Homo-oligomer: A and B are copies of this chain.
Amino acid sequence: MKVLLIGANGQIGKHLVDLLQNSNEHTIRAMVRKEEQALALKEKGVEAVVADLEGPVDSIAEAAKGCDTVIFTAGSGGKTGSDKTLLVDLDGAVKTVEAAEKAGVNRYVMVSAFQAHNRENWNEKIRQYYVAKHYADRMLRASNLNYTIVRPGGLLNEPGTGKVSLAENLERGSIPREDVARTVFASLGEKNTYKQSFDLISGEDSVEEALKNL
């Protein structure tokens, strides 16, 4: 599969760049916001395109042309406030869904947030962010794409263990970003995950087992 990785410069994104670059099955096109980010990726031998989630759907669709899959792991980050949450985490994300449909991509893996589907379980401190993720996920589910929505628990920077737990609903937990990336990566060709959404935390099963038993 040729994968358009949106948010290649993010913390989970960087792990995915590595996984995709070393894959025999998949190839990567990284989508980033700034020319300098694209140059840095190209220097590492990674195909990269510049496109802005705040720009038109058509320019994102152009970036997606020829790809089989979109991975969305972009985010406005915690520092820019709710303006960007609306423009990037919600509208930007939904634009990439529309762009995928326009470009004829039919596989889409979304990195969402733990329990984003259940308002009662949203983290009160970042409730606004949860609103954006919730509706981006709902729009993706309403699309015609073969989506997978991955909702990781508290994100850690420590090295991954490769052992996870995933299900429609889990008790809150945490997970290294590296293991989120591994799960997203392993889900790409796993048809068992098409049209599925799941919470994801550290656990007992290998990523591959966990996805097969979903």
Judged by a CB distance under 8 angstroms, whether A167 is at the interface is no
- Which A residues between 112 and 132 are near B, CB-CB below 8 angstroms? 119-120, 127-128, 131-132
Q: How many residues of A contact B (CB 8 A)?
A: 22
Identity of the chain B residue whose Cβ is nearest the Cβ of A128 in the assembled complex: B86
**Overall SS of chain A's interface:** helix
Segment with Cβ contacts to B, from A5-13, A133-141, A172-180: A133-141
Q: Which of A81, A87, A135 has the most CB of B within 10 A?
A: A135
CA distance A128 to B82 in the complex (A): 9
Identity of the chain B residue whose Cβ is nearest the Cβ of A138 in the assembled complex: B139
Contact A131 B90, CB 8 Å, known A138-B139, A139-B138, A142-B142: yes
Flag if A87 contacts B131 (CB, 8 Å): yes
CA distance A85 to B85 in the complex (A): 11
CA distance A81 to B86 in the complex (A): 11
Which A residues lie at the B interface, using CB under 8 A? 56-57, 81-83, 85-87, 90-91, 94, 119-120, 127-128, 131-132, 134-135, 138-139, 142
Q: Identify 6 residue pairs between A and B in the complex whose beta-carbon atoms are under 8 Å apart, listed by A's number.
A: A56-B120, A86-B86, A86-B128, A90-B90, A91-B119, A91-B135
Q: Given contacts A87-B128, A91-B131, list 5 more A-B pairs with CB under 8 A.
A: A57-B119, A86-B127, A91-B134, A91-B135, A138-B139
